Amino acid sequence: MTLDRPHGVSIRTVHDVAGLAAVTDYFSDVWQTPRSAPPYPAEVLHSLVHAGGAVHAAYDGTRLAGASVAVFGPDRDTYSLVAAADQGLGYAVKQAQRAWALDLGVRTMRWTFDPLVGRNARFNLAKLGAAGTEYLVDFYGPMADGVNDGDESDRLTVTWDLTAPGPSYETGDREAAPATHNGPDGETLARRDLADDHVWCRVPDDIVKLRAADPVLALRWRHAVREVFTEAFAQGFTATGMSRDGWYTLTRDDRKDSAV
């Protein structure tokens, strides 16, 4: 499979001790933890590779510029434990994971991410064409890294059909839909159309910066978005899109086949 990637960038699976240690250090830097207390220790990565998983590393020349870890799930799908990359390389890293999985006959991949991080939502849903299929409340419990500390760890599970051509869901007419919830800033947080086909929900511009500046306000956003998502998911909706201005589109499961 031919992969799209920037000039000078190479991506390969990593098996050796030194290469896995470098990936561990990279993840420590991304999640702002001491390298002596990494979120994914090298010995754990080595065990996952030995068990049949894959650690991919992206190199810009000789510099490590991205990495991902994937393992097999219970239903012969794959689960991406973690992926991070320098700006502009994320898509190439995910495509490398996709190619690895397809070569093994796997059709789907799942992972979780923080639903308040709008840029990640747009990448996962609008760029890759995955769908948010499960809302997990405080999934990890308290987290002490430099990115998530002080917040509750809600996560959105995404499911990526590795054989699909890309995003194909309709977005509906958000502006014409009645408001249903207000956000912590006093503005409309969520809308729902009268046909009950779509729900739209807004997230803050940059939750990571907000969490660092005002953790109490960030937690209010967490609870407000959680209320919208858990209600919608209980009624059969999934997350199918994210706009550039920070609005999720949620589509009812029995309506997705009508998408164009």
Instruction: Locate the DSSP E strands across the chain.
Output: 9-13, 54-60, 63-72, 78-85, 108-113, 131-136, 155-161, 179-182, 188-192, 198-202, 237-242, 247-252
Cα gap 100→202, rounded to integer Å: 34
Cα gap 8→57, rounded to integer Å: 14
pLDDT along the chain (260 residues), means of 10: 70 97 97 95 97 96 96 90 94 96 96 97 96 97 86 96 81 92 98 96 96 95 98 97 96 58
Would you give the DSSP letter of residue 36?
A: T
Tens of pLDDT, residues 209-225: 999 999 999 999 999 99
Tens of pLDDT, residues 67-93: 999 999 888 899 999 999 999 999 999
Closest alpha carbon to 174 in 256, 250, 258, 253: 250
Check: CB of residue 16 under 8 Å from CB of residue 5. no
* Tokens found for residue 12: 């390969």
14, burial (CB in 10 Å: exposed 0-12, middle 13-18, buried 19+): buried
Instruction: Determine the pLDDT at residue 137.
Output: 98
Question: What is the value of pTM for the model shown?
Answer: 0.91
Instruction: Determine the pLDDT at residue 256.
Output: 47
Instruction: Determine the pLDDT at residue 258.
Output: 41
Instruction: Determine the pLDDT at residue 249.
Output: 97
Domains of the chain (ranges, CATH numbers): 9-161 (3.40.630.30), 174-258 (no CATH)
